[in-house]
Amino acid sequence: MYTKKECVAMLLAGGQGSRLYALTQDVAKPAVPYGGKYRIIDFPLSNCVNSGIDTVGVLTQYQPLVLNDYIGNGQPWDLDKQYGGAHCLPPYQTALGAEWYKGTANAIYQNIAFVDRYNPEYVVILSGDHIYKMDYNDMLQYHKDKNADATIAVLDVPMEEASRFGIMITDDDNNIIDFEEKPKNPRSTLASMGIYIFTWSKLRQQLIDNENNPDEDKDFGKAIIPNMMKAGQKLVAYTFDGYWKDVGTLDSLWEANMDLLNPNIPIDLYDPDWKMYSRNPVLPPQYLGENANVENSMIAEGCIIDGNIDFSVIYEGVTIEKGATVTDSIIMPGSVVKSGATVEYAIVGENSVIESGAKVGARPETVANRDDWGIAVIGNKITIAADQVVGPKQMVPDLRKK
Amino acid sequence: MSLNKKILGVIFANMHEDVVPELTRERTMGSVMFGGRYRLIDFTLSNMANSGVDEVGVVTKSNYQSLLDHLGSGREWDMSRKNGGLHLLPPFSNVASGMYRGRLEALYGITDFIKHSDADYVIMSDCDVITSLDYNAVYNAHIKSGADITAVYAPCNLSLETASHTNVFGIDDTGRINNVLINPQLSGECNISLNTYIISKNLLLSMVLDGAAKGVYSFAKSILQAKCGEYKIMGYKHDGYFSKISSIKTYYDANMALLNTENRKNLFPENAPVYTKIRDNPPAKFAIGAKVTNSLIADGCIIEGTVENSILFRGAKVGKGSVVKNSIIMQDTVIGKNCSIDCVITDKIVSITDGKILTGSANYPIYIGKGAEI
């Protein structure tokens, strides 16, 4: 007889990440590479394991091949368990028919049976879009201490940024009294981090009621949270003061990588007490050649570097040839930058080739009008021809709506 | 890639540990660190995994804690299996040959393990040779020639110093081994044994039991050398890149040889990866002012100084203003600020405090033991 689990995590990983354009053409956003050897989903998964949560349902929908393959049986995160562990949960067919996940709440609703197997007291709802290190156990303890029905992790953001987030309005005791999605005139600076802990029995009922009401959105922010508030249930805000970054756009993905190179920004991947786990490639150590010139950068295994690299994050198996220059850029796994090519302020996707003499991206000061400047982006498996120029803010292929 | 006939792999983890006594003081030959993120056994075991040999026994007798820790269940080599997979074989206390004196005696200690396997052939290998080798090709040659034993060899320019830890084969025009010299006093072009053999299981068992009855324990002496007229022992020439560890100097040279791109390509071909234990280190980090050339750098390193012609293992750190040249810096070694390190081998978790100057010589690198603080 297996004991029940106190807390089960449900990780929403079905998002397309449409604002990452070329990088999410064939992979879901949580599977996008980050930090030289990780994928975004490694952060919530490692946080779960480091917080002692050993049962994680991963809800997949959009382009699940890479993600399913990556998570596998959960072994890289020690989540291969006899009872519990990591489980990919795609939408499925039932006797009544088949349907996609219609929203975040519906995705959990469709997997009530999965959660019930573990008979948990609490469920933590996570998303695969954020880079942060957080002990969910501290948050769970807070949830218990407050005797809450739902606890929402919040980040105190600068007022000028508050209108980009879902904002929680709280009383002096951290009780959430109101909630506004991307308000024009924010009444608070407490931004929702998309991390929720619910008392399962309460959430379970809310999900069923939500499903039975055809007029409601099937979404946590739009329906479940407001409904719980209306019903007078106890919702509290849990303030988190560490590093947290939404990597939903190309700019924020680039910034979040660059943050790793900034000693003043508190995201430390080298902390032995809070290891980040990932599926490791089987590659020899990286080799830096006679002509290599590397500063302020992170480089993963299997790379062959003989060029100049500054302020960049280079993923596994990348080749930077002699005379090539990569600055302020992200080069994802398996790509090649050939001799004489220049990559500046750019993201180069997986297994792409930048031929000799090509020029990708440019420094901000090279552009007269700052609005014309942005990160240049090369998608996966793209070849940029010799001497081709990809200007700042350009995308190859360009998937933006004109 | 899988073999038609089932082959049992047997790896001898402790053999040759006397050639690098510094490195094997607290570990087996198989668990000696190599090439930035590997241990010597990774090469043999990966060769087996890549050749479809999926049932492997690792014979060990002493100092095997690090070996057991490294291999675990064999999962990294895809050898954590219900059928076959990796078997660790420490000495059996109530078998007379618990602390074996030679390969035959070691095999006698695992007679039951060999008998129990349903393999038809056995591949035996030590951990002192670093190479990428397809055992399918050795097996095919063995079948084609109808040999009793096929021994892998490679032509090599031998020095007197290395010859004293090497077996040399005399080979006739047909490829048959007709002479075996054990640790000979000679130098020059020779065909040296890579300590890898393929033999049918039944023949091996009869040799082992016969050897035990007669009180002989050395496979090289009592089988290869004494019976090369009686048994048909064929040589299999390995043309690929290899290095053989026979002293701390050759160990140092074998590591440094990996700075050559051609050698690395040969040792790490794309279709035959070398597996090792996963440590979940983040990528290596290069700080402002770092200068790294002609070096192999593993994950988890943090480099703030200058590194030239060196090999840094996982989690090594080099502080600001320090210069590390021609050195092998093993796992989790921390070098402080403004140090000068040249021709040094630091074992695991060594700490070199600020301002230290350590200079060895390429023909006699300084070795600093595990956990030392300088």
- Could you write out the DSSP letters of every residue in B19-65? GSTTTTSSS-GGG-EETTTEEHHHHHHHHHHHTT--EEEEE--SS-H
Model pLDDT, residue A98: 83
CATH 3.90.550.10 fits B7-267, yes or no: yes
| Run means of pLDDT, 10 residues per run, chain A, 402 residues | 86 86 89 94 97 95 89 93 92 84 92 95 95 96 97 94 91 92 91 96 96 92 92 96 92 95 90 93 96 97 97 97 97 97 97 97 90 93 96 90 64
Cα–Cα distance between B131 and B241 in angstroms, integer? Answer: 6
Model pLDDT, residue B109: 87
Would you call B259 and A287 a contact, using CB atoms and an 8 Å cutoff?
yes
Would you call A285 and B302 a contact, using CB atoms and an 8 Å cutoff?
no
Cα–Cα distance between B280 and A243 in angstroms, integer? Answer: 21
Give B283's contacts in chain A (Cβ within 8 Å).
35-37, 298-301, 313-315
Model pLDDT, residue A97: 83
Identify residues of A whose CB sits under 8 angstroms from chain B CBs. 35-37, 75-76, 269-270, 275-278, 280, 282-301, 304, 309, 313-315
Phi, psi for B56 (deg, rounded to 5): -135, 130
Residue B1: pLDDT band with limits 50, 70, 90 = very low
Cα–Cα distance between A139 and A11 in angstroms, integer? Answer: 16
* Residue B130 pLDDT greater than 80, yes or no: yes
DSSP state of B363: T
Q: Which own/partner pairs from A238-241 qualify as long-range (CB within 8 Å, at least 24 positions apart)?
A: A238/A139, A238/A142, A238/A143, A238/A151, A238/A152, A238/A153, A238/A154, A238/A174, A238/A197, A239/A153, A239/A154, A239/A155, A239/A156, A239/A174, A239/A190, A240/A132, A240/A134, A240/A139, A240/A153, A240/A154, A240/A155, A240/A193, A241/A155, A241/A156
Gap from A118 CA to chain B (nearest CA, Å):
28
DSSP state of A25: S
Would you call A287 and B291 a contact, using CB atoms and an 8 Å cutoff?
no
Identity of the residue in B37, B283, B288 whose CB atom sits nearest the CB atom of A295: B288
Identity of the residue in A289, A309, A314 whose CB atom sits nearest the CB atom of B294: A289
Which of B219, B266, B228 minimizes the C-alpha distance to B12?
B219
Model pLDDT, residue A130: 94
* CATH architecture for segment(s) B285-368: 3 Solenoid (2.160)
**What pLDDT, in 10s, does the model give residues B306-317?**
999 999 999 999
Model pLDDT, residue B5: 60
Gap from A179 CA to chain B (nearest CA, Å):
38
| Cis before A397 (ω within 30) | yes
Would you call A280 and B278 a contact, using CB atoms and an 8 Å cutoff?
yes
Instruction: Using alpha carbons, list the distances in angstroms from residue A16 to A59, A64, A72, A249, B237.
Output: 12, 10, 20, 12, 54
Mean pLDDT for the stretch of residues B73-97: 82
Would you call A288 and B294 a contact, using CB atoms and an 8 Å cutoff?
yes
Chain A interface test: which of B265, B271, B281, B314 (most A C-beta within 10 Å): B281
**What pLDDT, in 10s, does the model give residues A203-239?**
999 999 999 999 999 999 889 999 999 999 999 999 9
Chain B interface test: which of A46, A79, A294, A303 (most B C-beta within 10 Å): A294
Complex prediction ipTM: 0.91
In order, the DSSP letters of A311-368 are S-EE-TT-EE-TT-EEES-EE-TT-EE-TT-EEESEEE-TT-EE-TT-EE---GGG-S
Cα–Cα distance between A3 and A119 in angstroms, integer? Answer: 9
State the CB neighbour count (10 A cutoff) for residue A72.
13
Model pLDDT, residue A225: 92
Identity of the residue in B274, B284, B288 whose CB atom sits nearest the CB atom of A286: B284
CATH 2.160.10.10 residue ranges in chain B? 285-368
* Residue B91 pLDDT greater than 90, yes or no: no
State the CB neighbour count (10 A cutoff) for residue B160.
11
Nearest CA in chain A to B261: A287
Give A278's contacts in chain B (Cβ within 8 Å).
280
CATH 3.90.550.10 residue ranges in chain B? 7-267
Would you call A285 and B37 a contact, using CB atoms and an 8 Å cutoff?
yes
Give A330's contacts in chain B (Cβ within 8 Å).
none
Identity of the residue in B280, B288, B294 whose CB atom sits nearest the CB atom of A275: B280
Instruction: Using alpha carbons, list the distances in angstroms from residue B102 to A397, B67, B99, B362.
Output: 64, 20, 9, 33
Residue A381 DSSP SS3: coil
Give A75's contacts in chain B (Cβ within 8 Å).
75
**What pLDDT, in 10s, does the model give residues A357-390?**
999 999 999 888 888 899 999 999 999 999 999 9
Across the A:B interface, residue pairs with CB atoms under 8 Å apart total 102
**What pLDDT, in 10s, does the model give residues B183-216?**
888 888 999 999 999 999 999 999 999 998 998 8
DSSP state of B138: H
Gap from A313 CA to chain B (nearest CA, Å):
9
- pTM here is 0.92
Gap from A302 CA to chain B (nearest CA, Å):
9
**What pLDDT, in 10s, does the model give residues B323-369?**
999 999 999 999 999 999 999 999 999 999 999 999 999 889 999 99
Chain A interface test: which of B267, B285, B286 (most A C-beta within 10 Å): B286
